[in-house]
Structures are given as C-alpha cells and as structure tokens.
Amino acid sequence: MARTRFAPDRGLTARMGLTMFLLGLVLVAFVLAMVLIAARFPANAGAIVIIGVLIAGGMTIGSLFYSDKIALTAARARLVSPQEAPELHGIIDRLCALADMPKPRVAISETDMPNAFATGRNTKSAVVCVTTGLLRRLDPSEQEAVIAHEMSHVAHKDVVVMTIASFLAIVAGLMVRFAFYGELFGGGRGRRDNNQNMAIVMLAIMAVSIVVYAVSFLLIRALSRYRELAADRSGALLTGRPSALASALQKVDGVMARIPTRDLRAAESLNAFYFVPALTKGGLSGLFSTHPPLQKRLAQLAQISQQIGR
Amino acid sequence: MGFLDTLLGRTKPVQPDLDRLFALPSAAVTLAASMSFTPAGAGSVCFRPMEGRAFSDVEDDVRQLLDSDAEKTMPVEVTADSYGFTWMVVRQPPDQFESLVTDLHAVNSTLADNGFGPSLLCSLVTFSGPGQRRIAIVYLYKRGTFYPFAPLPGERRDNALELQVKAAIEGELPLETDLGRWFAVWGAPGL
C-alpha cells in the first residue's frame, strides 16, 4: 500500500469523542433523574416526560427529513442546473471525483452576504448552497476551498450528527416549559396534598431540565466547533490547498464583520450550517459560538500546509 | 468511510486504483473493430497539485522520467486548467497504444508511490473516428471505472455517441454505471 501523507489529527478526534461521550452521559443522567422523580411521585410526572420526549422526537425527525427544504427556503436559495452555473458545477464535479462521493445538488442564494452551507440528511438529499456574494468576492480557487469544506460536512453527515445531538437539548427545553406552565396552571383541581405533591414534582423537573439544557447546550456548541475544524481539515486535504481556504476565510470574515447586523437577523437561525457565522461578539461568546475563532482555523490550516509540503 | 470515521469527522483520502488502465489496449481493439474509432496518439493524466515543495519535486521527477525515455519523439506537455488541475499529456504514435498506456501508468504510479495518490483525478486517452470526430475514454482513478466523453462544438456533449461507445466497450472495461459521475472535461488537452 502506498504511504499516506495525510496524518489524522488525533487530538481533535479525541476531543470530539469526549464531547459526544459527555453528551451521552448527560442524556443518561437526565433519564435517570426523570425516572427517579416519576418513581417518587407517581402522579403525572411520567406523562409529562413521555409527552416531552414524543414532541422532541417528532421535531428532530421532522427537521432531519426537511432540513434541506427548510434551509433552502430560509436562505431563499434555488437549485441550479449545470447549464445555469457551469463553473460551479465543474468545481463540484471534480471535487466529487477526487473524493469519490456522489454529487450533491447545487443551489445559489441571491444574497450579497458571502457565505455557503450544506444541508440534507444523507448524500442523496444533500445540497451545497453558495451565495452570490461569495461567488462575486472569491476567486475560483477560494470558492473551491469553501465548497470542499461544505462537501466535507456532507461526508461527515454533520446535519444528522448535530440534529441528533440537539435532541437532548430540545427535550430539556420542552420540559422546562411544561413544568413552568404546570406550575402556573396546575393548581385548582383535586385534593390539596396532591396539588402540593404536583408542585414539588414540577419544580424538580424544571430544576433538572434547566441544568441539563445548559450543559447540553454548551456541549453541542463545542461539538459544532470541533466539526467545523474537522471539515476545514478534510476540505483542505481534499483540494491540497489549505492556504486557499485560509485566504477565503480571511476575506469572508472581514466582510461578515463589516455587514450591519440589521441584515443578518434572518441569517442567524442558519448559523450552524454556515461557513462563517453571521454574528461575532466578544467576551464569553467563544463558549457559545457554533464556529471556532478565525485564528484557530487559520493556525490549523497553516499546520496542514506544512504537513503536506514536507 | 466507516461509521466511526463519519461520527468523528475523519475523512480518509481515497486511494486510486491504478492497474485497470492496462485493460485499455484490448478495449481499443474492440472500439476500432466495432465503431472504427482508432487511438489518436495522445493520453493525459489529470491531477490536483498540492501546495508545497514535496509535490513540485515529485512533479519534476515525473517529467524527467518521461522525457528520458529514449524512444520518444515528443516531450511531455504540462498544462494547468482553469479549475486548478494539472494535465500531463503524453504523445506516442497511434500504433503504439500500449506504450502510451505504460507512460500514463508511469505518471500515476510515481505520484501514488510518493504518497500523492489521492491527488489523482482522471486519465484520458483520445480516439479519432469517422469525419474527424474525437472522443475520449476517461478513467476515474477513485472509482476504478471508465466512461466515454464525446464533445461537440460549443460545450455540448454527443450523448448518443457516448452511449454507443459505452455499449461497444462494455465487455472490455469496467464502466461507470452512475451517469451522474460522467462529468464533462471541456477543453482537456490532447482532445
């Protein structure tokens, strides 16, 4: 077998694995806490938990199956044929042949904001979308680098992984809401001591859910940042030009920071899919952001460039 | 890519399949017999140049290797296309189709031996037929499959001719069954 020049990043793999393990652990702790509460107060706690899980499961499956349509509609993007966008299709054709992966559908969004995203639950429903602002500002090799990054998201099934990872946070979020409204409107009927029991149950569920929500939210964001780094890495290795991705990142990041926030309200919900997030804040935001800081991404790309040039 | 690789976001670069190129000579015979398309004497290897010193060194080695071939009359042409890929075009007299294939194999095996196998995109050999028609048989390194490419003026493809060629060489070569991967190589050098 031919030797390989593409050493995997074990540190990144380990951090990603640990984050997913911790998410699993939080899930187990959450289930255990709910079972304990339900066993202690057999009243209606069980029903609330089951309803919460069912609704969250429905939302997760729904967003998995409609992720492509939801994202394309939100970005006001339309699918383009090879005749409409020959260069873009040419780039994607070649990257697919290099990576040996089926060709995703291609979409263009008419926005001046330079960005790109990939969506779809599997390679068949995958869509790679770029904005006209990106096509206008980046030269072909930088466009290719960005598209390779997005195609790595498709190969890593990031939509599925992140949607499943978010399931726990959705359940916990719903439970907080249910328990809160239960507390508000739960009283009135039945015996007095039963009501008091109910109030304690609701408070317990709410407390556990708030903690689980907060912890899983931080873990999901960490996982998202690691997956961005992994996509940068795979994309750079695929094109063999880490520096093209680095220069694309610098260009896009500069433009994104200058664009007024008022334009970006619609874009914020799409952040998790984007190449570069639409809002950047200072301070603690590092822990909450879906993407790693620019410096970190550039440092990784510089290291890859060294590695393949040796 | 395995489940764990997907879960942990580790893409393994895909290694090329080099040896199937040697099935080309017998397919060329079939193509000449059934459709009177004969080798046009040019073949090319298309790859993605990696940035950095290591790759450019290997690229120079390949060029020297081919140019040092004593029997050759024409030097290797190296061109870059607008997508950022490099094409190495090898020419041999049309009747020496087998040595053309050997040259192509020398290019891709040198790249693969130096660890740049994942950079290989495709290989083309050209055929000319009745009425000055030119077609190419494209080899996809990562898939290990072939497909015909018949360009018409104005960036159009003669799909009917492509399908005829496909039918003619089906028994000789592993052909790409997913038509979505028959991507167009407009303006490929040597075509």
Contacts of B180 in chain A (CB under 8 A): 102-103
Question: Quick check: is B46 in a domain?
Answer: yes
**Coil, helix or strand at residue A295:** helix
Name the residue with higher pLDDT: B89 or A44.
Answer: B89
Q: A173-213, pLDDT tens digit by residue?
A: 888 888 787 766 655 444 455 667 777 878 888 888 899 99
Residue A272's contacts (CB-CB under 8 Å, 6 or more residues apart) are: A162, A224, A290
Residue A71 has pLDDT above 90, yes or no: no
Instruction: Say which range, A239-248, A259-268, B18-27, has the weakest mean pLDDT.
Output: A259-268
Catalytic residue positions of A, numbered: 150
Q: Answer yes or no: do A144 and B84 touch at CB < 8 A.
A: yes
Question: Quick check: is B1 in a domain?
Answer: no
Token pair belonging to A161: 């992984």
What percent of chain A has pLDDT above 90? 40
Q: Answer yes or no: do A231 and B112 touch at CB < 8 A.
A: no
Give the whole-angstrom CA distance, residue B93 versus residue B38: 12
Candidates B9, B180, B186; nearest CB to A102: B180
User: Could you tell me if A121 and A159 are in contact, meaning their C-beta atoms sit under 8 angstroms apart?
Assistant: yes
pLDDT recorded at residue B161: 93
Alpha helices in chain A (DSSP H): 10-40, 45-74, 86-99, 132-137, 140-155, 158-185, 192-239, 242-258, 265-268, 285-288, 294-309
CA-nearest of A206, A247, A164, A222 to A19 is: A222
Instruction: Give me the count of residues in chain B.
Output: 191
Picking from B14, B51, B149, B159 by the largest number of A CB atoms within 10 A of its own CB, the best residue to mutate is B51
pLDDT interval class at A262 (50, 70, 90): very low
Residue A281 has pLDDT above 60, yes or no: no
pLDDT interval class at A135 (50, 70, 90): very high
Arithmetic mean of pLDDT, A120-147: 91
Domain with B161 in it: 16-181
Q: Answer yes or no: do A161 and B14 touch at CB < 8 A.
A: no
Contacts of B52 in chain A (CB under 8 A): 305-306, 308-310
What percent of chain A has pLDDT above 70? 82
User: Could you tell me if A308 and A5 are in contact, meaning their C-beta atoms sit under 8 angstroms apart?
Assistant: yes
Give the whole-angstrom CA distance, residue A217 versus residue A270: 17
Question: Quick check: is B32 in a domain?
Answer: yes
Candidates B54, B183, B186; nearest CB to A310: B54
Domain count along chain B: 1
CA dihedral A72, A78, A81, A86 (to 10 degrees): -100
User: Could you tell me if B28 and B92 are in contact, meaning their C-beta atoms sit under 8 angstroms apart?
Assistant: no
User: Could you tell me if A34 and A49 are in contact, meaning their C-beta atoms sit under 8 angstroms apart?
Assistant: yes
Q: Answer yes or no: do A8 and B10 touch at CB < 8 A.
A: yes
CATH number at residue B154: 3.30.70
Candidates B10, B52, B184; nearest CB to A309: B52
pLDDT interval class at A261 (50, 70, 90): very low
Question: How close A81 comes to chain B (CA, Å)?
Answer: 13
Question: Quick check: is B11 in a domain?
Answer: no
CA-nearest of A58, A35, A61, A33 to A46 is: A35
Give the whole-angstrom CA distance, residue B64 versus residue B67: 5
Please give the span between the terminal C-alpha atoms of chain A, in angstroms, as a whole number: 20
Contacts of A300 in chain B (CB under 8 A): none
Q: Answer yes or no: do A237 and B82 touch at CB < 8 A.
A: no
Size of interface A-B (CB pairs under 8 A): 125
How many CA atoms lie less than 13 Å away from B39 in the CB half-sphere? 24
Question: Quick check: is B114 in a domain?
Answer: yes
Q: A16-30, pLDDT tens digit by residue?
A: 999 999 999 998 999
Picking from B8, B120, B185 by the largest number of A CB atoms within 10 A of its own CB, the best residue to mutate is B8
Question: Quick check: is B186 in a domain?
Answer: no
Question: How far lies B5's CA from each of A20, A149, A261, B160, in Å?
Answer: 14, 16, 37, 41
Q: Is residue B145 within a helix (H) or strand (E), and if so which, with residue range?
A: strand B145-149
Question: How close A115 comes to chain B (CA, Å)?
Answer: 20
Q: Check: pTM over 0.90? Answer yes or no.
A: no
User: Could you tell me if B165 and B35 are in contact, meaning their C-beta atoms sit under 8 angstroms apart?
Assistant: yes
Quote the Cα angle for B60-B62-B68, to 5°.
100
User: Could you tell me if B106 and B65 are in contact, meaning their C-beta atoms sit under 8 angstroms apart?
Assistant: yes
Residue A139 has pLDDT above 80, yes or no: yes
pLDDT recorded at residue A1: 34
Rounded to 5 degrees, what are φ and ψ at B90? -110, 135
Mean pLDDT of chain A: 83
Q: Tell me which residues of chain B have a pLDDT lower than 70.
A: 1, 69-73
Arithmetic mean of pLDDT, A49-70: 86
Q: Answer yes or no: do A94 and B85 touch at CB < 8 A.
A: yes
pLDDT interval class at A266 (50, 70, 90): very low
